[in-house]
Each structure stands twice: as C-alpha cells, then as structure tokens.
Amino acid sequence: MESAYELHLDNPVKDANWFSKISFSYLIPLLRKAKAKNLEVGDLYNTPKDCESCELGYQLEKRSQAKISEAKGKELRLAICLCELFGLEYFGWGIMLFVYTMLNNVLPLVLASLIRQFSQRADTSEMYLTSAALVLLALANNTLHHHCICGMLRTGIKIRASISTLVYRKIIRLNQNVLGRSTSSGQIINLLSNDLCRIDTMLLHMHTFWILPIQVVIICYLIWRQVGISTLAGVLSMTIFSVPVQGYLSKLTGRLRLKIAEKTDKRVKMMTEIVSGIQVIKMYTWEKPFENLIHFIRKSEVNELTKSSYLNGFYNSCMVFLDRLSLFTTIVCYVLLGNSLTPDKVFSMGQLFNFLQLQAAVHYPMAVTSTSQCWVSLKRLEQFLALEEKEESRIQKCNKGELSLSSVSASWTKVVPTLKHITLHLKPGSLCAIVGPVGAGKSSIIQVLLGELPFSSGTTKVGGDISYASQQPWLFSATARQNIIFGLPYDRKRYNKVVKVCALKKDFMQFPYGDHTVVGDRGASLSGGQRARINLARAVYRQASIYLLDDPLSAVDAHVGKHLFSECIYKYLRGKLRILVTHQLQFLMKADVVIVVNRGEIEAVGTYNELSSQNLDFSKLLKLQEEDNENVDDDDDIGIRRNSVRSSTRSTSSIDSTSDICDVKQFDDNETDTVKHQVKSPLKEYIMASSDNFLIFSLFVVLILSQGMCSGNDYWVAYW
C-alpha cells in the first residue's frame, strides 16, 4: 500500500551522546519546531528498529501460536508469552526503579542531618557539603525516575505494538463463520483502543508488588531508629485504614471494568452499524430513533463509568491524609511516652511517612486496580486470539491458468450444505460465466477458489495467481490511484489502459484533483457505479493468471456495463482465465463456458447455444432472470439517475467551492487552521459540559479548602 506519509528523519536516539541520552536533549530540535509551528507527520522521527511492530508481532506470534491454542480458559497463556518476550527488559527497568526508591529513603536522612546542623550551629563548610549532597541526590533521583518511566512506557509501546500486530493478523485469518457471531468490528476496535491501554498503565505500577515490602521494612527501621516503639502507632494506623479499603475496592474495580468493557463493545458495535447504514437511516428519517438508542446505550455505559469514578474519588479522598494521620499518631505516642521532639525528627519522619503512604496507599492500590483491569483485558484478548481460524488451504496446484473442482462440497454452517458435488474444469484463456438465482451458491464457488470457504469433500486445483473483484465494492480512504494500484508499482502505461477500459477516464476528469482525489472512507463521496468500477480496476491492474469477477456489472448503467464487458473483460483480459458471476444474461453469448447454478448444485454446463436449446431448466432460468433483471434495472436506473445528479453537481461546484472530495494536503491545511482557531475552546467547553455552575464553584471551593488543610497541617507540625 502506498503510504500517505513517509518519514524521512532518522531517529536521533541512536546517534546521541551519553549526556544527550541522560538529559533527553536530543528532543530539543523537535520541541523548538513544535514551538514555532504545529507539528506535521513529516516532522516526526522514524520508529527505532527495536520498536517496529512487524518484527515484534512476528516474535510474539511465534511464541504464542501453540500456547494460545492450548489455553482452556483459566490460564493466561498470552501473559506468559509476554513475560518470556519482554520480561527481562521490564525487570531491568524495575532494578533501576528499585535504586530510585532506595535513594528516596536516603533523602530524609540527609535533610535531617542538614536541619540538625542548623540547630546546632555546625561548621559552614560541613553545611555546604550536606546541602550539595542533598541537591545531587535529588537530581540523580529525578533523572532515574524519568528514565524509569520512559523505559517502562517504551516497553509498554512494544507490547501494544506486538499485540496489535497479532490482532490484525488474526483478523485476516478469521473464519468467516466467526465474524458477526463470536465477534464484531466494535469489539475489535474496543480491544485495540481501550484494552491495550490497560497494559501501559499496569506496567507503570506492577513493580510495586515486590518493591513495597522491601521499602516498608527499610522505612520502618529508619523511623524506629528515631522514635523507637512509637513507630508501631503510625504503621498500624496506616495499615488499618488502607488494607481493608484496598482489598474491597480492587474487587469492585475488576467487576466494573468487565461491565464497562461489555457496554463499550455494544456501543461501538451499534455506532459502526449506524455509520455503515447512514444513507438508509437518513432516507427514512430515522435519525431521532437511532439517536435515542445510542443515547440509552451511552447512558448505561456512563452510569458504570460514574460508579468507577466515585470509587476512585472516595479512595483518593481517604488516602490523601493517610501520611499525616500516621505522622500525627506517631508524634502523639512519642510525646506521651515522655520524649521531646526535635525539628530534624519531625521533618525526616514526615518525609518517610509520605514515601510509605505513596507506596502503600497510592501506588499499591493503583497496581492492584490496574493489574485486575489488565487481567480482564488480557482475557478478552486471548478469547479473541483463540477464535476459530480458516483451515489450512487444501487447494492443490495445477498447470498455470487452469482450475478444476472435483466433487467439491462445502458449507458455511454445519447444518445446511452450501455447495454439493461441484465439478468443473476450466482451461487457460477461457471466459466462464456463472449464472443462477439469488442465493444459488455462485459467490460461494468463488469463495472456495479463494480458500475462504472450506470444502468438506472433493479436490480443488488452481494454477497461478488469482486476482479478485468482490461483489461489494471495497475502498479505503486514500486517492483513487492508490485504491487502484493497491501497493503495486505504478506502471503508467498499464494504469492508463486499465483506467480507460474500466470507463474511469471521464470520471477522473470531473474530479477536482483527477485520480489524486481522496475518495473518502469506503468511497463515501463516490456513486455506486464509480465504486464498482474502481473496485474492478484494482483487480484488473493486478497481473494474474486467473481473474475472479463477482458480479462487477450489477451497479453500473447498461451502456457502461456493455463497455466494461466488451473492452475490459472480453478484450483486455483476453488470454487469461476469467470467471464472471453475473445476472446480465445478454453477455452470455460471448462466454466460452456458461455454468448454471441452483440450490448449491451445477444444473448445466455448456455454451450459450447449447444451453438455450435445452427445454427445461435453463429456459426457465432465463425467463426468471430476465424478470429479475427488469426489476433490478428499474431500481438501478433510479440509483443511477440519483448518482448522476450527485456526480454532475459535484463536478460543476468542485473547482469554485468546497467539495465532498478533497485533496489530502487541502484537508490537512484546513484541519491545521481549525486547530489554530480552536486551541482555547476545548478547555472552556470541557469545564462547562457539566451544565451546573454551582457544582463547578463548589468543587473549586472544596479543592482550595483541601489544599489549605494540607498546608495548615504542615505548619501546625512545624509550630509544634
């Protein structure tokens, strides 16, 4: 696929010196550029080699392919594979985080020494040395902390990239029976957008599980050295208030996460279906009913999110004063035992209890919560990765340009057979037309040849490469040319010929930017006939031995269909094996072989003249097909006239006014201008979204009072 953007800037990390890597100064040029203008994709650096998703996905797939298939529901095989692949790297960052945590414990001791020196009026040079040590320790701590966070996030990016690649590859290999029954596009989007983010959050806190016990022992020992048995009062108060709340809230958080994920899947699935059928919804003016439906689903999702937010708010409000409570109980117990307080003891204990509270009451609960959420997400990912895949292709090879089916039976479901005892043999260069009533199994024969529909019996032989034009046109949001060449090298002569035989030349002349015009998502800005012709041109541009064309003429006008069959299918592809599924019986006379399919079986095979001379089935089929075609043509004429009006309106107004189809650069410029003009509005809109000014004012007052109480507590301890 041609990339819409190409990154030409080498990543500066690999050539940066040691100081630049420590200080992250290699990012200064990018930050200066961002300050001068809005960054574009071309301003970004290339991805480092060790973070490229292709290789990471291959390594994870190699490790997990056997284990995921053996999973029986309880054991998370995917988690084991991730540990094997990224565990050593992640543990290395954990060691650095441990060093950072231990240095944190030294800081209060140095601070206490400095306060003691001030109180005892010690030598000035000694005070300078202690101050310098305090500054250097703080600087080293901050540097270690930022590199730990950066390293763990980098590991998280690698994990996310590898799992995303695994999911994308799984989508391609999924059995078509599974699509819509066991999964949906909404669920897949939710997996990639929400569930993978839980892994990043979990990685930031997971080292707390083994660092916390060590830090608790060290901090308790340091406090014990200063106040003795009074340490137990502070530690017990912190334990009593934090542990029960943590255990209960972690269970509630896991349950809520599962409910939220289910409701989000439902909402995204519904929105995807609405966007896909938006034309029908607007045609029947069903906007309000569907809006109410989405509002109801979203409201139920927000209710669960609100519960989760209330839980987090309740816990944070309880934990914010936990270190002060512990310090207060320790000081009271120490004084009641007949001891006298000194400033160095008070402030060093305050810092130590603050570190203990951060680990035990903040980081540990976040680790428990994020781990439980990540556990749910990994289960959902593993369930998706364990879905049934297409069977390994049993299609055999034969002479180039030939294909044959021998007594092939196939079925989409295990209940009703779709194809029964299909036998045919086609020679190189022949034109084969497959006809039959709706639901007869014409497209299923194509799917068997593509390997998408597994066959239960018989043999299938295909010689050479296959190019396929689907029954439903498929386009992606790129230029018309990119949709046609589809990642193949651009051959100007061949491309122009394909555009001509597919009757696209006049359309491109009407487009505002020719074949460089962006067609929109799924070709939304094109008519049905234009989408069908671009879809056909993509298949024709690809050089292959066999062309499978699944009803490409049904969405175009009669004279356009005649041109496509005569110039493209019959003449341009002459010498290639062509299988054409069609309802247009007027083209059957030029076909070398006509296959009549009905109820999953081949009723007749031969030339048009041979089959027309038969008395029963084919003659009746011709009559039924002609009646069907009359009805379809009437509907198509209406659609064609509507599309013609749209197309002509677009062509006359595209040059002087804004068109639905726009150039990539033009779109980016407009988007950039919008960002410049609206950079301040989102914050205001976010604040006013509550639609309750009194609530906002009350929240503001409570925040000020809360911070005032925290600061007042510190001043009170200092005064004491």
Cα 67 from Cα 65, distance rounded (Å): 6
Could you report the per-residue pLDDT of 27-55, keeping only the tens digit for each?
Answer: 888 888 888 888 887 788 888 888 888 88
Mean pLDDT across the chain, nearest whole number?
Answer: 79
Q: 338 φ, ψ to 5°?
A: 90, 15
> What is the average per-residue pLDDT within 564-578?
91
> What is the average per-residue pLDDT within 15-32?
87
Q: Are 484 and 495 in contact (CB under 8 A)?
A: yes
Could you report the per-residue pLDDT of 600-611, keeping only the tens digit for each?
Answer: 888 888 888 887
Given this model, what pLDDT does residue 422 score? 86
Cα 393 from Cα 571, distance rounded (Å): 32
Could you report the per-residue pLDDT of 57-76, keeping only the tens digit for each?
Answer: 888 888 877 665 565 555 55
Could you report the per-residue pLDDT of 136-159, keeping only the tens digit for each?
Answer: 998 998 999 999 999 999 999 999
Given this model, what pLDDT does residue 264 score? 84
- CATH superfamily ID and name for 51-262+302-385: ABC transporter type 1, transmembrane domain (1.20.1560.10)
- Chain-centroid distance of CA 667 in Å reads 23
Let me know if the fold of 51-262+302-385 is the same as that of 396-665.
no
Given this model, what pLDDT does residue 654 score? 32
Three-state SS string over 330-375 comes to HHHHHHHCCCCCCHHHHHHHHHHHHHHHHHHHHHHHHHHHHHHHHH
> What is the average per-residue pLDDT within 506-517?
87
Query: Which CATH code for domain 396-665?
Result: 3.40.50.300
Could you report the per-residue pLDDT of 309-335, keeping only the tens digit for each?
Answer: 888 777 777 766 776 778 888 888 888
Cα 42 from Cα 30, distance rounded (Å): 12
Q: Are 519 and 474 in contact (CB under 8 A)?
A: no
Nearest to 144 by CA among 94, 110, 87: 94
The residue ranking higher by pLDDT, 251 or 13, is: 13
The residue ranking higher by pLDDT, 617 or 469, is: 469
Each domain of the chain, given as residue ranges in start order, spans 51-262+302-385, 396-665, 680-719
Given this model, what pLDDT does residue 362 score? 75
Q: Are 537 and 488 in contact (CB under 8 A)?
A: no
Cβ neighbour number for residue 177 with a 10 Å cutoff: 16
**Placement of tokens 């139920």 in the chain:** 300
> Which amino acid appears at position 369 of this protein?
T
Nearest to 222 by CA among 333, 325, 107, 307: 107
Pairing of strands 466-469, 546-550: parallel
- Chain-centroid distance of CA 651 in Å reads 36
pLDDT higher than 50, residue 18: yes
662: Cβ contacts below 8 Å, ≥ 6 apart: 512, 517, 518, 670
pLDDT higher than 90, residue 96: yes
Q: 11 φ, ψ to 5°?
A: -70, 125
Nearest to 633 by CA among 671, 584, 677, 679: 584
Identify the band that residue 650 occupies on the pLDDT scale cut at 50, 70 and 90: very low
